[in-house]
Amino acid sequence: MEPEAGPSTGEASKCRRRRRHIIQPQDGSGSIPFTSPPAKRSKSILTSGERLMIINIFKYVTKTKPEDEYMSNHDLVKRTSEICGVNERSIYRVLSEYRDTHKITQPESTRKRPNVIQKVDDFDKSAIRRIVHSFFFFLKGEIPTLQKILHAVNNDETLPTLSKTSLRRIIRHLKFKYMKKSRKSVLIDRGDIVLWRVRYLHQIKKIREENRRISYTDETWVNAGHTVGKAWVDNTVKSAKRAFKEGLSTGAKDPVSKGKRLIVVHVGNEDGFLEDCEWVLTKLQRNDVIVLNNATYHSRRLEKTPTFAWKKDAIQNWLRAKNIPFDDDEVKRQLVEKVSNVKENFKSLVIDQIAEQKGVTVLRLPPYHCELNPIELIWADIKGYVARHNTTFKFTDLKKY
């Protein structure tokens, strides 16, 4: 008779791991075994729910301690730590905080470090886009490889110095694709971005031919520590002591941080900036045109269209309200497909509707094409002025410029 096949090596190791987490009863009564305390918790901030659990377990351990056995406070904390899988120092800290405030506080959320996409502003992104296109326009069709673009960007003093990885992320964020064309790898704009740009240029040309007044709006920001990146420095001054003795300076110093951020928003046209434009549409005339970018706060929809996250009955109610026929036995996927076929007909935006009531036309720029917005040149001039004159790096002084 052949012997029965034993468990494989992997299965045997799993069994051994499981056995290590089971403690057999000492009395041999055959009762159901109980599992060992949980493993120690990984290092992270304790949530309010975990803090409440620690307090409740400590109270339970204190209440159920043996009457004939003395247990100090340290013993109670140690027992709570074994049950929770949290180190004793954290237990002491939670109990002390609860004892002082009688409240369970919510831990502060950690602030995420901004990535390179967030650090580089729209003006610099637009400049990088123009550098890519310059290979075709001014360099006689030279192929814009990533290494060539990186060299051009880092040689431009007005742009931030980037690594190859950061530049690749920005270029992908700008909707460029790296694809093969005529046996040469090139970076080209995505098809929908090209169509958006062509459509915008045709619309703005027609509006100018009709001699309608065009107003441009955009927002930017200036940090309290905004200053020039370079200055004349005397390289012979090697120490503050020598500078003091010779009556010299140690040169201009940069602020320790960027400081608070001042948001700047305005609207302007060929007649200059609009005065008191907190309510822009009240300052525009009928038949005017206002140019916006495609930011989310400019593109809020008047009515949400169903997505696959909606419940089936909600999608059916939406289709029924729009007089779009469907069968009751159709599955959710089929209903969402019907919505996709008609959702462009119901893509009304809040700003567009308000502007239409005022007789104003809204024209939106293609994504990351701020070079088509003249107000960006004004922002660059203003930021340059602030950088040249900002010496105190105080937020109150920044507002005066």
Topology (CATH level 3) of domain 194-302+348-398: Nucleotidyltransferase; domain 5 (3.30.420)
Helix (H, G, I), strand (E, B) or coil at 217: strand
pLDDT band at 167 (very low <50, low <70, confident <90, very high): very high
Sign of the torsion angle spanned by Cα atoms 318, 340, 362, 374: positive
Q: What is the mean pLDDT of the chain?
A: 79
What is the pLDDT, as a whole number, of residue 210? 93
In order, the DSSP letters of 113-158 are PP-HHHHS-HHHHHHHHHHHHHHHHTTTT----HHHHHHHHHH-TT
Delimiting residues of CATH 3.30.420 domain(s) in the chain: 194-302+348-398
- Length of the chain measured in residues: 401
What is the pLDDT, as a whole number, of residue 15? 44
Residue 34 has pLDDT above 50, yes or no: no
The 10s digit of each residue's pLDDT in 231-268 is 666 666 677 777 777 777 776 677 777 888 888 888 98
The 10s digit of each residue's pLDDT in 2-32 is 444 444 444 444 444 444 443 344 444 444 4
Contacting residues for 12 by C-beta, under 8 A, at least 6 apart? 6
Rounded Cα–Cα distance for residues 34 and 51 (Å)? 25
Choose the weakest-confidence range: 6-20, 57-71, 297-311, 346-360.
Answer: 6-20
Residue 171 has pLDDT above 50, yes or no: yes
158/139: higher pLDDT:
158
Mean pLDDT over 194-208 rounds to 92
Statement: 116-189 belongs to CATH 2.30.30: no
Delimiting residues of CATH 1.10.10 domain(s) in the chain: 116-189
What is the pLDDT, as a whole number, of residue 29? 45
pTM for this model (two decimals): 0.52
45/204: higher pLDDT:
204
Residue 229 has pLDDT above 80, yes or no: no
Mean pLDDT over 373-398 rounds to 86
Mean pLDDT over 200-210 rounds to 93
Residue 162 has pLDDT above 80, yes or no: yes
Exposed/middle/buried for residue 326 (C-beta within 10 Å: 0-12, 13-18, 19+)? middle
